Amino acid sequence: MSQHVLSLLVEDKPGILTRVAALFARRGFNIESLAVGTTEVDGVSRITAVVTLDGQPLEQVTKQLNKLVNVLKIVELEPDASVARDHMLVKVKTDAATRSQVLEAVTLFRARVVDVVSDAVVIEVTGDSAKCQAFIKVLEPFGIKELVQSGAIAISRGSKSMSEKILK
């Protein structure tokens, strides 16, 4: 099993997310996460897809994706040449006794509390997926009431931009 982070520049057209997701499903490629958003270029969206491959070469995935007419460009973002971040919101049970311990964990992980009520806090944390997983581990004993996580978004290091070449 190998994990890869793919960045796709796609035309911002209706159905594009379906086309990409359906292709993964149809060809039997596993998606760990998928995150979509607008970019610095009008009409161009960017999809970050984390894929896990069991035997198939990554090349097959990118070649099949490239056949989608609305896909403009695909790059693999290697871990050491890129930055990848997950975003997570966690609702943790707290009471007078545990609140300070939870807040200590928040500080250690450089997370933020975004909502507090008498018996719970909502914490926001950003980081690579290992950090997010570690944070969840720490919070688990207190009781996680709700957890929501974005897919990873990723960008290359350095000054080059992925959209440079595709725009005439």
Partner 1 sequence: MTETLTGAQAIIRSLELLGIDTVFGLPGGAILPTYDPLMDSKKIRHILVRHEQGAGHAAEGYAAASGKLGVCIATSGPGATNLVTAIADAQMDSVPLLAITGQVNSYAIGTDAFQEADIVGITMPITKHSFLVTKASDIPAVMYSAYQIATTGRPGPVLVDVAKDAQNAKFEFSWPPEQDLTPGYKPVNDPHGKQIQAAAEMILQSKKPILYVGGGVIRAGANKELLELANLIKAPVTTTLMARGAFPDSHPQHLGMPGMHGTVPAVTGLQKADLLITLGARFDDRVTGDVKTFAKGAKVIHADIDPAEIGKIRHADVPIVGDAKIVISLLTEELRKQIKGSSYDISEWWKYLDGLKERYPLGYTDLDDGKIAPQYVIERIGQISGPDAIYAAGVGQHQMWSAQFIKYENPNTWLNSGGAGTMGYSVPAAMGAKVAMPEKLVWAIDGDGCFQMTNQELATCTINQIPIKVAIINNSSLGMVRQWQTLFYNSRYSNTDLHTGTDSVMVPDFVKLAEAYGCLAIRVEKEEDVDKAIKLAIETNDRPVVIDFIVGKDAMVWPMVPAGVSNDAVQYARDAAPIWDGEE
Binding positions for partner 1, rule: CB under 8 A: 10-11, 14-15, 18-19, 22-23, 26, 57, 59-60, 63-64, 66-73, 166
Sign of CA dihedral 20, 21, 24, 26: negative
- Inter-axis angle of helices 58-66 and 16-27, to 10 degrees? 140
| Residue closer to partner 1 (CB basis): 22 or 114 | 22
* Token pair belonging to 146: 């709700």
Q: In degrees to the nearest 10, what's the CA dihedral of 94, 98, 101, 106?
A: 0
| Residue closer to partner 1 (CB basis): 23 or 53 | 23
Least Å from the CB of residue 3 to partner 1 = 21
| Residue closer to partner 1 (CB basis): 63 or 145 | 63
Least Å from the CB of residue 42 to partner 1 = 13
